Structure 1
Amino acid sequence: MPRLRSIRPLLLVIALAGTLARSAWALASFDEVRRDFHPSDTRVLDRDGALLQRMRTDASARRGQWVALADISPALRTAMVLSEDKRFYEHSGVDWRAVSAAAWGNLWATRTRGASTITMQLAGLLDDDLRRGSGGRNLAQKLGQTMAAQRLELNWRKDQILEAYLNIVPFRGEIVGIDALSRTLFGKAPHGLDVREAAVAAALVRAPNASAARVAQRACEVMRAMEAPQKTDCEALDMFASAALQRRDFDASEGIAPHLARHVLREVARNQEAAALTPALSQRESEQAGIRTTLRAPLQRFALGTLQRHLRELRGRHVEDGALVVLDNASGEVLAWVGSSGALSRAAEVDGVLAQRQPGSTLKPLLYAQAIAERRLTAASLLDDSSAQINTAGGLYIPQNYDHQFKGYVSVRTALAASLNVPAVRTLVMVSPEAFARQLRAAGLALPQSGDYYGYSLALGSAEVSLLGLTNAYRTLANGGRYGETRFLPVSPPPPRSSSASGRGSERRALDERASFIIGDILSDGNARARTFGFDSVLGTRFWTAVKTGTSKDMRDNWAVGWSQRYTVGVWVGNASGAPMWDVSGTSGAAPVWAEVMGFLHRDLPSRAPAPPAGLVQTHVRFGNELEAARSEWFVAGTQQALFTLPPAASAADSAARITAPSDGTIIALDPDIPPEHQRVRFEAEGRGLRWRMDGRPFARGASAQWLPWPGRHVVELLDADGQVADRVRLEVRGAGVVKSTKR
């Protein structure tokens, strides 16, 4: 019985070894191991396979990309073989000479290197049953590891064994594989490792959690084996190893499109089974190359650099954030996606492409398109740009222009191109806020509230939209009123295209084609926008483009969105915190970035004006009272006319220009403790072409004006369109001079 009991453990070991031998027989091939290797990072690529962003998606370990043996520095290969397996190229999986030495050393309690070869270590890494535990491997595992190593040598080449080993061997902490080690500790790719770095890497395999001093000591031994001993400076190596082991150069995320990358990963996770994503996912699994997108890396890099450079120029104006998106008009593919200004921002994680913000005047083109399509207006129709008080359920709504001046009667072309606010509000009164809200939703702008909730301020962009949605709405205008979804992942095969009246692919009719053409013609007209922006505006390009700027309330958001024959570009500039900017206008904020990106897109590509669709006519028009110069104008067929004149009420108002507020003899008392901006006097008048004089000196134009009062008696005169004094009032200002308050 005692003898039987002594034999049982041996039989158990033999049985277990047989099981492990069968496991060794089933070891994976080199191609299978390489295919099943998954980096801890996901690479997001552009349409041509160029790297856009690297994002860490596996927190269990830090693995880089699989690196071919030819792309690993010769110094590292040499160091690893000298450190772990000097006779690697001589044995067939097991170094029997080392086994004998290790057994003899154990017999006499002498310290030896050990007998585990690189092939045996690889076998232990490939098979969980052979993996080393906290107490080391038992006898059965050692036998199984020996068999597996010999099996590997029969089926794998030596270069494949060394390549796989270097890619899956643990080094230190969470770091697995030579790519992660090289980039984390040395900040470089594996092919660039020198002798000193290779020695430290080899030392970490033997003692991954050892102290820096122990790693340096081991690395010094490796270096002495690689080069002449007198060349090795172990003291310097000690300092180098200590610095390297503290370094973490392998960032969790790196690249030029972090916001797009996060959006891509979320989208892929939500749509694992979607047929449209199968090409990208299968490519990732087969090539481990990452997820391919529709972006263009050169364009993304230029757009990011341009935005950051321009924001540095605006640094003194309290603006630090921006975003940019570029769409392909035909396909809806996203070609550039810049979510923030990066290091310039204190909220770099906020994606400005998707953030909801007030678009300001950039909604006006969609409003006028609707009014023209409904035949309420034409491009030559006259709108009154004068002080307006509109009754609403919440009280009087009094819109103002950006420059706080009024232009009188202007055509729709001038009102839109020059971005006048009051004519836009009058247009919304014709269309109605609820009908306009439906139009915006048809163009892809999903407003969270009804049109009546926003009221007439909807004409001036009081609803919040995203840059991506707004840019795609302009792409709808560029495509003749056809709306289509945007996409940033490639689709194979490409979506069907058709020139039939039913549309192209999944596109649908959202805007009238004729009205869309007229809006594009207006937004490309430099002469029409000159009234506000001048003739030498940054919005003017050397090739055909249509563009609109916008600024939200209190200068919190500044936009420039427009299209060419092939592309639509949208730019937002502001602060992610919502803080207002200082002295940033439509042409100094987002517009310069828009112009530079458009110039880059068309540096070798022409952009021509679109051909007019059927149902449009071009007519020569004149304006009564020489309100505007005669010109050729586009009309929806059936709405054309040759002469546009003022309504009778407007002509009567011209002959009766008068000051309506304040009244003659008004006395104004000043309080020196109230800030000056809160004590301005507002003047109101009726009439056209009005100018104001204070004590004989011109100080304002338009139907309203504001004045900072100053003690004394003053005479305010109103001049009509002919320059004649039509009315005057006398004012007296009493009190001390107004000083700026220091109160908070």
Structure 2
Amino acid sequence: MKIKLRSLLQIKLNSQTSKIILSLLLICLSVRLLPYFAPIRTADIVQNQLAMQFSDRNGLPLGTLLTRDQEHTAVVPLNQVSPQFIQAILAAEDGSFYQHGALDIKAIIRAIKEAIHAKRIVSGASTITMQLARMLNPVPRNLLGKVQEIWLSWRLTAGMNKDEILAAYINRLPMGGNIYGVEAAARTYFSIPASDLNLAQASLLAAIPNNPTYFNPYEHWERLKQRQQYVLNRMVMDGYINQAIAEQISTEKVVFQSHQKGIIAAPHFLFWLANQISSTKEQSLIRTTINRPLQQFVETQVQQVIASVAANNVHDAAALVIDNHTGEVLAYVGSPDYFNEAKLGRNDGVQALRQPGSTLKPFVYELALEKGVIRPNTILADVPAHYAIPGAQLYSPTDYTETFLGPVRVRVALANSLNVPAVRVLEKVGVQTFLERLHQLGFTHLNQTPEYYGLGLTLGSGEVNLWELARAYVTMARQGEATPLLTTLSDSSKENCYRRYTQINEAVRWAGSPTCSNCRADKSICGSLFSNRTTWQLITDMLSDSHARATAFGVDSVLNLPFPAAVKTGTSSNFRDTWTVGFTTDYTVATWVGNFNGEPMRQVSGVTGAAPLWNRIMLHLHEHQEPAAFPSPENLVQLPICAISGLQPTPDCTSVVQEYFYPEDKIAYANQHDFKLPSEYDDWLAKQPQSNLVFSNLRIVSPHNGDLFLLYPGEEGQQKLELKLARTKSQPVEWWLNNEKLATQSANSLFWHLRPGSWTLEARSGQMSDKVNFQVKVATLKPTRRGFSL
């Protein structure tokens, strides 16, 4: 009876076990079949971001294998890859790839046994399919990640055959740095296609993907050679080669090309351009506007100029050269050495946002002339000025020299980059109006409110990049006609676009037309026209006037070229950035010198930092042919003026210059003779030596008319007031106070002891005189309670 019950129980248990096993088998089968309901096919993982090959405007190569995501990637079919490389990569990564499925069960069992025996992970069991899965979808190295990796591997196997999986794998192999795929590696390291790889080259390349950083051929050659030996040994074991060949190949000398070989010139430009080109448009060769000989010249000059000022803590520079006639970018240098990672060489100084210093001043003056806020002969006050800023201290702009020139012409103020006159002009124009104009010129990064920038906008309180600056100066060079900066010649519609919009009448603004939408360029300013050509011509005339800028830069500075050139420098606060942007009728050159890490330079300004680089490039551009002269401002006449008044010269005027006038201003010019500096000059005049004054009248500058002075009780006869005047001629002066003569002297000042009363002070010298009224009162001090103080 007991035996029978035991038999029945055993039968029942066997039945339950069978059901469990069957259920598990069904579950496993279902799981294994699921990938076939969601297969991944070749078309699903096609690589769209393929390598691009760039040439300069004349067909000279600039660089290859560059993609939009800044990775060197090239895709080739399996039959265009050297058989030696296919054998080497199979031997190194998955010797039985064609014999197993998505997973290699034997390899998994072997890896587990080795791990148990050594009590650590000795070898992996990832197949090529599993590695491809990780490339397509990187996951964490944990249990969940491994499950996801296996699932994706099954889906790949369900939708692709072995050759398709292997092709997808070798086209994605990490080959060091930003190089991906065997084709990219072959071209970058050896300048040959993957189909031409020999066994020595192939075995070295097959050694890299295991750990691209650790086996970097430029930095860890010995490590790479050891890994190559491993690959060759595996090829011997798998029967691809014999031991003799392996030993021969391991000693064969293989030369890797220079690290920069993949990019011959203009690396910053190529990486930037690759990100601009639509990913939907595949191009095997992209013909750019770059002139390679010029590009390489500029690259060399950037390096040399930086080396010459390195002692002043200057390490970085950038430059841009543009053809004014077409808007084509001819040279684009983002740093002294793109490949020097230790010095932040990959930073692109052309696109980096920095404070532009005074390089925006020409645009506020042009706008002020256009709106009639100033005239060419306007006199501006370069004297101390103070502006109230809400929630902050007074804003008191000063110049680099911390000196003031007093009355200056617009031409002199702009050419010498004087800060106070520029701020005064911006105050008249309005910050919001100026900001709108800068937006029209293409300064898209100035996206804060007018209140944020304030009056400091004209001195560089915002942030722009060299690209925007160059584009705006090209507009100036084209006399107010804006054009997008062109970078490629591969699309003929672009040249047609340029021809179309340059034929449009100047008086018509037509930004955003259908033709412009076909240009791969800056559509925001495509075809914009600033109608007043005369004001742009005036600004160009002022910026090209070497005599006008002599006060600040001297007559022989690097800004003076042997041919007509308009130029403006800029220096940001704390000497962190120096700029020089200028143009001839043919070319615009924009340069920046500074430090990417933001450190200030020592004793370096725009004229000593960026200007020498600008000078070298300009001289090179016009080495064989000088540019045409700038056109004179249209419909204007030149008349002599007194430099201090801006009016028709009088016999007493000691400095007469020529300046442009609008025809409607000629009548006022002929009828204005008397000139007296406004009261805002008094404090400045009081500090000037006699020889610096250039006006015909006598001027009492201290005290001011209407001043009130307080005399403290008990200090009568002790407090003194300086009576001071400004004048041109060194003649004796009689001082009169309430019609009583105080003194006669040649000096410009006299001290007088304060006495209560109302006083009329008069100064007389020959036929000239000046008179002011002021008061002196005894101060009334309120009594205070003991223990308290005011």
TM range (shorter): 0.5 to 0.7
Aligned with 2:542 (options 512, 517, 522):
522
Distance verdict in 2 for CA 1:61–1:528, change over 3 Å:
closer
Counterpart Cα distance in 2 of 1:64 and 1:647: 75
Q: 1:524: how far off?
A: 0.6
| Counterpart residue number, 2:692 | 689
Alignment of structure 1 residues 507-518 onto 2, 5 Å? 507-510=527-530, 512-518=532-538
8 A contact 2:358–2:460 mirrored in 1: yes
Distance verdict in 2 for CA 1:428–1:318, change over 3 Å:
same
Distance verdict in 2 for CA 1:269–1:687, change over 3 Å:
farther
Counterpart Cα distance in 1 of 2:193 and 2:420: 65
Aligned with 1:49 (options 53, 59, 63):
59
8 A contact 1:461–1:552 mirrored in 2: yes
| Counterpart residue number, 2:714 | none
Counterpart Cα distance in 2 of 1:169 and 1:201: 19
Q: 1:55: how far off?
A: 4.6
Letter in 1 for 2:200: V
Task: Please tell me whether residue 324 in structure 1 is matched to residue 319 in structure 2.
Answer: yes
Task: Please tell me whether residue 335 in structure 1 is matched to residue 334 in structure 2.
Answer: no
Distance verdict in 2 for CA 1:560–1:248, change over 3 Å:
closer
Q: Which moved more, 1:609-618 or 1:58-67?
A: 58-67
Counterpart Cα distance in 2 of 1:330 and 1:448: 30
| Counterpart residue number, 1:238 | 250
Task: Please tell me whether residue 295 in structure 1 is matched to residue 290 in structure 2.
Answer: yes
| Counterpart residue number, 1:128 | none
Alignment of structure 1 residues 593-632 onto 2, 5 Å? 593-612=613-632, 614-623=634-643, 629-632=655-658
Task: Give a deviation string over 1:156-180, Cα, whole Å, max 9, x none.
Answer: xxxxxxxxx9x99969966799865
Counterpart Cα distance in 1 of 2:641 and 2:330: 41
Counterpart Cα distance in 2 of 1:60 and 1:374: 46
Q: TM-score, normalised by structure 1?
A: 0.61
Distance verdict in 2 for CA 1:236–1:654, change over 3 Å:
same
Q: 1:564: how far off?
A: 0.9
Aligned with 1:212 (options 223, 228, 232):
228
8 A contact 1:656–1:687 mirrored in 2: no
| Counterpart residue number, 1:542 | 562
| Counterpart residue number, 1:409 | 407
Q: Structure 1: state its 5+ residue gaps.
A: 1-35, 84-133, 135-140, 146-164, 273-280, 660-684, 691-715, 730-744
| Counterpart residue number, 1:125 | none
Secondary structure of 1:397 counterpart: coil
Distance verdict in 2 for CA 1:267–1:205, change over 3 Å:
closer
| Counterpart residue number, 2:190 | 188
| Counterpart residue number, 2:483 | 484
8 A contact 1:383–1:410 mirrored in 2: yes
Q: 1:234: how far off?
A: 7.9
8 A contact 2:321–2:329 mirrored in 1: yes
| Counterpart residue number, 1:639 | 665
Q: 1:204: how far off?
A: 8.0
Letter in 2 for 1:689: N
| Counterpart residue number, 2:213 | none
Alignment of structure 1 residues 447-486 onto 2, 5 Å? 447-486=446-485
| Counterpart residue number, 2:417 | 419
8 A contact 1:325–1:471 mirrored in 2: yes
Q: 1:454: how far off?
A: 1.9
Aligned length: 542
Distance verdict in 2 for CA 1:259–1:725, change over 3 Å:
farther
Counterpart Cα distance in 2 of 1:430 and 1:60: 47
Distance verdict in 2 for CA 1:52–1:622, change over 3 Å:
same
Q: 1:429: how far off?
A: 2.2
Q: 1:475: how far off?
A: 1.2
Aligned with 2:503 (options 492, 498, 502):
498
| Counterpart residue number, 2:301 | 306
Distance verdict in 2 for CA 1:622–1:583, change over 3 Å:
same
Q: Structure 2: state its 5+ residue gaps.
A: 1-45, 89-152, 154-159, 211-225, 511-515, 517-525, 644-648, 694-721, 731-745, 752-790
Counterpart Cα distance in 2 of 1:441 and 1:206: 53
Counterpart Cα distance in 2 of 1:449 and 1:620: 43
Distance verdict in 2 for CA 1:391–1:214, change over 3 Å:
closer
Secondary structure of 1:212 counterpart: helix
8 A contact 2:480–2:532 mirrored in 1: yes
8 A contact 1:555–1:581 mirrored in 2: yes
8 A contact 2:66–2:274 mirrored in 1: no
Task: Give a deviation string over 1:22-68, Cα, whole Å, max 9, x none.
Answer: xxxxxxxxxxxxxx99995322332233332335449999866989x
| Counterpart residue number, 1:160 | none
Distance verdict in 2 for CA 1:722–1:405, change over 3 Å:
farther
Larger Rg: 2
Q: 1:570: how far off?
A: 1.0
Secondary structure of 2:349 counterpart: coil
Counterpart Cα distance in 1 of 2:625 and 2:341: 32
Counterpart Cα distance in 2 of 1:384 and 1:423: 6
Q: 1:605: how far off?
A: 3.1
Task: Give a deviation string over 1:648-679, Cα, whole Å, max 9, x none.
Answer: 245996799546xxxxxxxxxxxxxxxxxxxx
Letter in 1 for 2:58: D
Task: Please tell me whether residue 261 in structure 1 is matched to residue 264 in structure 2.
Answer: no
Letter in 2 for 1:268: I
Task: Please tell me whether residue 648 in structure 1 is matched to residue 676 in structure 2.
Answer: yes
Secondary structure of 1:324 counterpart: strand
Counterpart Cα distance in 2 of 1:54 and 1:358: 34
Counterpart Cα distance in 2 of 1:429 and 1:183: 59
8 A contact 1:55–1:261 mirrored in 2: no
Q: 1:404: how far off?
A: 1.0
Aligned with 1:399 (options 387, 397, 400):
397
Q: TM-score, normalised by structure 2?
A: 0.58
Counterpart Cα distance in 1 of 2:664 and 2:172: 79
Distance verdict in 2 for CA 1:400–1:213, change over 3 Å:
closer
Distance verdict in 2 for CA 1:55–1:318, change over 3 Å:
farther
| Counterpart residue number, 2:376 | 379
Q: 1:294: how far off?
A: 2.1
